[in-house]
Amino acid sequence: MRRARVATSARIHFGFLNLSLALDRLYGGIGVAVDEPKTVVTAEPAASVDCDDPVACQYAERAVDLLDVPGAAVTVESALPRHSGLGSGTQLALAVLTAVGRAHDRAPDVRSLAPELGRGGRSGVGVGTFEHGGFVVDSGHPTAQFTTERPADGDWTVPSVTVRRSVPDDWRFLLVLPDVEPGRNGDAEEESMRSVVERADPGVADRIAGVVTRRLLPAVAEGDAKRFGGAVESLGRLNGTWYADEQGGVYRPPVGELVTALDSDPACYGAGQSSWGPCVYGVTDAAHADAARNAGAEALDAAGVDGDVRIVAGRNDGAETETVDDVVA
């Protein structure tokens, strides 16, 4: 008997390079892997699928079919908060796929199989960080491939990684998770994204290109957390103008209040909304980590909402996989 254990962590999604159908390439995700919180999944061979987590169970059933194995007993030891903007769905799907494969002495190609699990259709950041961690920019898709209806699972390829850089050891990221309604997901997210893409201003993408090439990428290459924070904040605000009609503003409420509060604190070099939220991120460094954590707590208090505040480091490695043979059933 073999038991496989897969541990993967969250990612922050800063935004996209382009959402306009007027330009040649669509999407192009930008994000970074962080070391907390984590999703941890274990799997053992079994005659059928056995899993108490209903979402993981669906992924396990699909993984068993894709890998042509009899079954697996899958346990979710810990999971990212769902629909919070930290990439919970992709990390859980790929962790389950990998654990089921490794339990049967197989090493599944997560990049090629992610679409079969319904993942990696727009952004390749989640798959890229699962594979190798770090700061990631993906290539997006040719705009000509855009369809008004969601393609069937498996009818796309995950965008390739065009830029991958290690996160400096002294960088830190503030995560503020307010206790509010989860971010958009499922059919609601699909409808919102289609609506955004069909009317997105291409001029915003031109401005984003300038931020990325003249500010963001140099800051990453030079390890400058202050310049990086300012660049991703600008990137997030520009992305937010595309989403304003869908989410009630450049940021979804109450994220705007939190970002404004963090903007005024010198310990935070930049702040924004990860994906559809409600997670708010801030960029800081080890020397200012405690002050940034306090700023996050104060921002929640000022907004009158409860929530969780964390300081996390970047993660420069992909998912961790361990296998133990001869497990007693």
State residue 184's pLDDT score: 67
In whole angstroms, what is the distance from residue 228 CA to residue 202 CA? 24
Residue 64 falls inside a structural domain: yes
Residue 30 falls inside a structural domain: yes
CATH number for the domain that contains residue 35: 3.30.230.10
Q: Looking at the predicted structure, is the pLDDT value of residue 171 above 70?
A: yes
Q: Are residues 159 and 14 in the same domain?
A: yes
State residue 193's pLDDT score: 86
State residue 40's pLDDT score: 98
Q: Are residues 97 and 2 in the same domain?
A: yes
Q: Average pLDDT in the 222-226 region?
A: 98
Which residue range(s) make up the domain with 243? Answer: 168-313
In whole angstroms, what is the distance from residue 286 CA to residue 296 CA? 15
Q: Are residues 148 and 158 in the same domain?
A: yes
Tell whether pTM > 0.85.
yes
Q: Are residues 28 and 59 in the same domain?
A: yes
Q: Average pLDDT in the 95-99 region?
A: 98
Label residue 149 by pLDDT band (50, 70, 90): confident
State residue 190's pLDDT score: 80
Q: Looking at the predicted structure, is the pLDDT value of residue 17 above 70?
A: yes
Q: Looking at the predicted structure, is the pLDDT value of residue 183 above 80?
A: no
Residue 320 falls inside a structural domain: no
- Average pLDDT across the chain, whole number: 95
State residue 302's pLDDT score: 95
Label residue 224 by pLDDT band (50, 70, 90): very high
Q: Are residues 79 and 138 in the same domain?
A: yes
Residue 35 falls inside a structural domain: yes
Q: Are residues 110 and 60 in the same domain?
A: yes
Q: Are residues 188 and 175 in the same domain?
A: yes
Residue 231 falls inside a structural domain: yes
State residue 175's pLDDT score: 98
Nearest alpha carbon to residue 220 among 282, 180, 161, 171: 171
Q: Are residues 199 and 300 in the same domain?
A: yes
Q: Are residues 147 and 226 in the same domain?
A: no
Q: Looking at the predicted structure, is the pLDDT value of residue 22 above 70?
A: yes
Residue 319 falls inside a structural domain: no
State residue 327's pLDDT score: 59
3-class secondary-structure state, position 40: strand
Quick check: bond before 37 cis, omega within 30?
Answer: yes
Label residue 86 by pLDDT band (50, 70, 90): very high
State residue 191's pLDDT score: 84
Q: Which two tokens stand for residue 2?
A: 């073999």
3-class secondary-structure state, position 138: strand
Residue 38 falls inside a structural domain: yes
Label residue 154 by pLDDT band (50, 70, 90): confident
Q: Are residues 141 and 275 in the same domain?
A: no
Residue 186 falls inside a structural domain: yes
Between 185 and 277, residue with greater pLDDT: 277
Instruction: Please write the tens of the pLDDT for every residue from 190-206.
Output: 888 888 999 999 999 99
CATH number for the domain that contains residue 250: 3.30.70.890
State residue 328's pLDDT score: 58
Instruction: Tell me how many degrees the CA angle 91-94-97 measures, rounded to the nearest 5.
Output: 145
State residue 329's pLDDT score: 55
Q: Are residues 40 and 143 in the same domain?
A: yes
Domain count, the chain: 2
Judge residue 138's burial from the number of C-beta atoms within 10 Å of its C-beta, 0-12 exposed, 13-18 middle, 19 or more buried.
buried
Label residue 182 by pLDDT band (50, 70, 90): confident
Nearest alpha carbon to residue 135 among 14, 20, 248, 18: 14
Q: Are residues 227 and 117 in the same domain?
A: no
pLDDT over 70 percentage in the chain: 98
State residue 288's pLDDT score: 98
